Each structure stands twice: as structure tokens, then as C-alpha cells.
Amino acid sequence: MSVSSGRMGTSLTQEILSSLGLASKTAAWGTLGTLRTFLSFSVDKDVQKLLKAITGQGVDHSAIVDVLTNRSREQRQLISRAFQERTKQDLLKSLQAALSGHLEKIVVALLQPAAQFDAQELRTALKASGSAEDVALEILATRAAPRLQECLAVYKHDFQVEAEEDIRTETNGILQDLLLALSKGGRERYSGIIDYNLEEQDVRALQQTGGSSMAGQWILIFTQRSPEHLIRVFDQYRRSTGQELEDAIRNCFHGDAQQALLSLASIMRNTALYFADKLHQALQETEPNFQVLMRVLVSRSETDLLSIRAEFKKKFGKSLYSSLQDAVRGDYHSALLALCRAEDI
């Protein structure tokens, strides 16, 4: 363990005890999904239920939603393969032919492999004006390294171009450098060892690089260090300068670079709260932002959506489930509620 002078004894004890306290924080958990492996799973029964839902008199939307939002992604893939074997038809294409609108898009997202879903969202974000600093950063910064690498491999296969090449083509400046660094998936994993020397070194670097002309150090620190290390850096920066690091970002950077760095700081501090804020903002729009709601609920449903729900209720005083109930209308209403799963009292 690396411990700098003057920080022995009580400081070290407090650091260890505060780390133990992470167990009580929702953001510390990474497997609190609302969709779990269905224990009574029967692929044959599910195939028959879906076949009946799309070939009977009228399409049974509720039956389709019930199956797909109560099975893990792995189980949904098994259903797709079994459907193909038994009916000689592609389940995804069959459901697309039977559905339309937002519900069709949710069903497509649920039936796609996770990497394919992420790759398509990333491609759309990079090609759409003004989305790179938001959606592209969300995907590149919040996916675990193995899933990110799989996403980038699918991206290359499906679009016949490296994601890095699209980043270079569609973005520029600090935002481009930040996205390229994140796409490397080189963030350090927390070893459990507190490196006070590196912490102080990073704080000094962030204090000395007070402008966009010296953004390289900011990018390196923000994209390479573990979240646990960065949280300590943020705290030490505040103690040393009297201001939050986010205030320094607002003073030193502008435009999409500022927004990207602020978003990345939010992700590092509390990923679940970051997504809760995104969902709340999407629900506050005149017309709820379906794409944001779908992407977050689908992509986090098997990882940490319970944590996101807890942060949402804590910050906004109203549950995510109730907020969706009040704001969302249309055929996809039941699908989003099913992904959210339940009310938080």
C-alpha cells in the first residue's frame, strides 16, 4: 500500500471504514437488475405462447410483453433459436410484422443480443447531430470492459467500419479525444489498495492543468482511473481547492467537452444516480423521450435498475414506476412498466 507522509494512522483507518460503508449504498451494487433468470423457464411453452400471440385473432400484446419482460436476455435468445427451429420462421421478423410503433422497438431491443443493441445505439448517436457527448459517452463509459469490446466488435461487423473511425469522423477536439480514450476500455480495476501517492499526484495534475489547452491530463485521469480512486480524487480536490471538481470543469471547459466531462464525473460518482437523472429528464419533456426511456430501462434491466429506482425515489420523492405510469401513454406503456417491475414504497 502506498501511503504518503502525514496521512498515516487515523486517516488510513477512516479511509478503510468509509470503504466498508459502501455496502449500504445502492451505487455500490452492480447486479441489482429487475429482470432475473426465470426459474420455471420452459422454452417450448414460451414458443407456443408467442406463436399463439401473433397467429390468433388479433395480436396479443400483453402475452408478448409478459414473456419477453420476464425472461433474462440469455433465455430470450434461447426462445429465438427454438422458435426458428420449430416454425422455420425468424421470431424477431415475425414480431416486427405483428407489431408497430414504440412497442415494436422495445421488442426488437429485448430480442437483440446486448452487444448488438449497444452497437446500434452507438452508431445512431455518432451519426445524429448533438448526440455524441450524451449517448455515445453513456455507452462507452457505463458498459463493463468485456461488453464494450463485444459491442465494438459487433459495430465493426454490422457497419463495416471501426467505431473509432466514426468517432474521428463525427466528432472533434476534446470530445473526440475523450470518446477515443473511453473506447479503448482501459479503465483500471480497483485492487482494494489505496494509493495515496497517485491520488495526490492526480489532484495536483488537475489543479495545474487549468484550461482546455492542457486537457490531456484530464482525459487520462477521467478515462483510466477506477471509480473508487476518482471519488477520492474528487474529495481531495475539494479539500485542497475549496471547490468541487465540477465547478472547475465549468470554468475551464465549454460546449460539448464541458458536458461530456460533467457527465463522466457524474457516472464516476454514482452511476445509478446518473441514470436516474437521465430518466427524470426524459420524463419531464413535453412528450416523454421514448428513446432514452427504452435505452436505459432495457440496458440496465439486468444490471442495476433496482439501484436506479432507489436513487430516483430518493432524489425526486416519487417512484420511477409511478412517474412512468403518469407520463407514458400508448401501446408501450405496459412494456416499460414491466421492465421497471414494481412500485417503490
The pTM for the full model equals 0.88
C-alpha grid cell for residue 105?
Answer: 422497438
Distances (CA, A) of 43 to 77, 146, 169: 10, 28, 44
Query: Is 196-212+220-269 assigned to CATH 1.10.220.10?
Result: yes
C-alpha grid cell for residue 274?
Answer: 446518473
Query: Is 43-111 assigned to CATH 1.10.220.10?
Result: yes
Average pLDDT over residues 305-322: 97
Four-way CATH pick for 271-340: 1.10.10.10, 3.10.450.50, 3.30.300.30, 1.10.220.10: 1.10.220.10
What gap in Å lies between CA 226 and CA 217, rounded to an integer? Answer: 15
The yes-or-no answer to whether 196-212+220-269 and 271-340 have a common fold is yes
Query: Is 114-184 assigned to CATH 3.30.390.30?
Result: no
Residue 208's pLDDT is what? 82
How confident is the model over 229-283, as pLDDT tens digits? Answer: 999 999 999 999 999 999 999 998 989 999 999 999 999 999 999 999 999 999 9
What gap in Å lies between CA 83 and CA 78, rounded to an integer? Answer: 8
Confidence band for 330, pLDDT divided at 50, 70 and 90: confident
∠ CA 92-94-96 to the nearest 5 degrees? Answer: 70
